[in-house]
Amino acid sequence: MDTMRDRFAPVASRLLDEDPRVAVVLAAIGTDGFAGAARRHPGRVVDVGIREQLLVGAAAGLALTGLRPVVHTFASFLVERPFEQIKLDLGHQDAGAVLVSAAASFDWPAGGYTHMSPGDVALLDTLDGWTVHVPGHPDEAETLLRHAVAAGDDKVYVRLSLQSNQRALSVDGERFRTVREGRSGVVVAVGPMLDAVLAATEGLDVTVLYATTVRPFDAAALRRATEAAGTDVVLAEPYLAGTSTAAANDALSDVPHRVLGLGVGRRELRRYGQLEEHVAAHALDARSLRERIGSFVGAAVRV
Amino acid sequence: MTNATYTYTYADLPGLMGLMTGDEKHGPAATSTLDVLWVLYDRVLRVSPEGRTDPGRDRFLLSKGHGPMAYYAVLAAKGFVPVEWLPGFGSYDSPLGHHPDRTLVPGAEIGSGSLGHGLPIAVGTALGLRAQGLDEPRVWALVGDAELDEGSNHEAIAFAGPAGLERLHTVVVDNSSATYARPGGIAARFEAAGWSVLTVDGRDHDALYAAFTAPHPGRPHVVVARVEPKSA
């Protein structure tokens, strides 16, 4: 199976062909995939070199002239390094862009912490007006990328990862979808967490919601799910643990509820190795998830 | 007297600035940019209040957003903002803050204040215009000499020269306020990156005009406008 990142350049290249507003802005990462598109649209494929502050600032300038910039590099260099540019050059200027990251939380563990970005979504959460897509499959990534580019002048983040579910589901770029129904708790599985969450909750009497668009947070879907399944909520996120806890609390602010936020730990692991080893180290594999979800909703059932 | 019925001149600018500061004597931070701004808006930029959203307009991006009184005074003199707005400068109900906000100030292309953002955005603006075949509009960014210390500006300078962004222009208002003097001077930094460079007296209107309009085929152009040192 190809990866979400394999899918990015061909899809963005087609969007460049289809829509004269689209421009792709790169910083020396992922440029090979755009060689053909750059020949066809030399003005609308820009590589600024290894300059991530300029990457975002230039994208804002492109947007101010009416174009729809699609900006791509690794998450650490796209969201974290030029964060003030995201806040001011896009947010404060009231300019839009589609930021498309690669490498996610720990897609390249052998590369170490310099190329890990578990905090990207939490960081964007400090800003207003961002839509955040976290696809769980390359097909979903393609759909969500198209949604993102078509979203007027909105500010949209698309988080691509090597972590993927086996099968794609249909996604609409807005809502959570129900993939399993139960009566003893709700588990929200974000993007590539779905397969592990489904395996972990096999035989448990819980509702599983699948979230590929996490901002805005689909509070209505969570509330509806809790009406049948009760207000014990587990969030299983492929980035920093607790990133959406506040959003879930806000969704349920008028009813007694409990929220357990599972995700990548804050402490720097200082390990290399394989992606799966990092998933396990952060207790995000199916077996660890079953223990943590089971004891959380199980305790509630016993009360 | 409103700006609809009266043509303001350079001689009116101190009075307009006085409406904001309550004082006709202004510190160097407020006036270092005054002559540069006036010459640009009076003689160089193809912008007008009526055409301020015209895709074919020239773009002026004030990157050095602190001390914007001279900027507001020029915008008022040229009819972009009502003179009546000036006395409210910095107050809760005023669109005119101590740093400008593009969503509040008619004619302001960017909001600025945090240093080192305007020139990278100007690079993107030049790229965006070029990509759409809008070859006429010129893009101007005004930066301070100390602001050039920001790494983001170095990224923009290093890119724009080799990228041949001919429609990009920068004016550096040099009041010798950078913390460490740049070896070789400001001009050398831009020359090394392949820009067209001129250095002039930032108070001499004819010299500024000549430098602003000098041809620079195939290259971005920077004018270093030297004014009295900030500490003087």
Say if CB A298 and CB A281 are below 8 A apart. no
Q: How far is B179 from chain A, CA to nearest CA, in Å?
A: 22
Q: How far is B120 from chain A, CA to nearest CA, in Å?
A: 5
Say if CB A226 and CB A186 are below 8 A apart. yes
Q: How far is A283 from chain B, CA to nearest CA, in Å?
A: 39
Is the pLDDT score of B23 beyond 50? yes
Considering chain A, tell me which residue range(s) the CATH 3.40.50.920 domain(s) occupy: 177-299
Q: How far is B202 from chain A, CA to nearest CA, in Å?
A: 27
**B contact set with A (CB within 8 A):** 55, 101-103, 109-111, 114, 116-117, 119-132, 134, 151-152, 155-156, 158-159
Block means of pLDDT (10 residues each) for chain A, 303 residues, are 95 98 98 98 98 98 98 98 98 98 98 97 98 98 98 98 98 98 98 98 97 98 98 98 98 98 97 98 98 88 48
Dihedral, A226, A230, A231, A237 alpha carbons, nearest 10: -70
Query: Taking the domains of chain B in order of start, what are their residue ranges?
Result: 10-226
Task: Locate the chain A residue with the closest alpha carbon to B61.
Answer: A61
Supply the DSSP symbol for B182.
P
Task: Locate the chain B residue with the closest alpha carbon to A59.
Answer: B124
Q: Which two tokens stand for residue A18?
A: 């289809």
Looking at CATH, the fold of the domain delimited by A177-299 is given as: Rossmann fold (3.40.50)
Contacts of B101 (CB under 8 A, 6+ apart): A92, B95, B108, B111
Q: Report the amino acid identity of residue A249.
A: N
Q: What is the pLDDT of residue A302?
A: 47
How far apart CA A292 and CA B107 sit, in angstroms, is 57
Give me the architecture of the A4-159 domain, per CATH. 3-Layer(aba) Sandwich (3.40)
Task: Locate the chain A residue with the closest alpha carbon to B159.
Answer: A48
Of A49, A60, A84, the CB nearest to B124: A60
Contacts of B203 (CB under 8 A, 6+ apart): B35, B227
Determine, for residues A43 and B152 on separate chains, whether the beta-carbon distance falls below 8 Å.
no
Give the ranges where B44-193 is alpha helix by DSSP (H): 69-77, 118-131, 151-160, 185-192
Q: What top-level class would CATH report for the domain B10-226?
A: alpha beta
Say if CB B29 and CB B9 are below 8 A apart. no
Strand locations in chain B (E): 59-62, 139-144, 168-174, 196-201, 221-226
Q: What is the pLDDT of residue A175?
A: 98
Supply the DSSP symbol for B114.
S
Q: What is the pLDDT of residue B28?
A: 65
Of A48, A53, A61, the CB nearest to B151: A53
Considering chain A, tell me which residue range(s) the CATH 3.40.50.970 domain(s) occupy: 4-159
Of B114, B125, B155, the CB nearest to A61: B125
> pLDDT-based confidence at B24, cuts 50/70/90?
low
Number of H helices, E strands in chain B: 8, 5
Give the ranges where B2-117 is alpha helix by DSSP (H): 13-21, 28-31, 34-39, 69-77
- Chain A environment of B103 (Cβ under 8 Å): 94
Q: What is the pLDDT of residue A93?
A: 98
Residue A251 dihedral angles phi and psi, to the nearest 5°: -65, -25
Contacts of A264 (CB under 8 A, 6+ apart): A105, A106, A118, A237, A238, A239, A240, A241, A282, A284
Q: Which two tokens stand for residue B103?
A: 């969503």
> What are the tens digits of pLDDT across the range B41-60?
999 999 999 999 999 999 99
How far apart CA B9 and CA A166 sit, in angstroms, is 70
Determine, for residues B110 and A48 on separate chains, whether the beta-carbon distance falls below 8 Å.
no
Rounded to two decimals, the pTM is: 0.96
Select the residue from A92, A94, A153 to test the B interface by mutation, using most B Cβ atoms within 10 A. Answer: A92
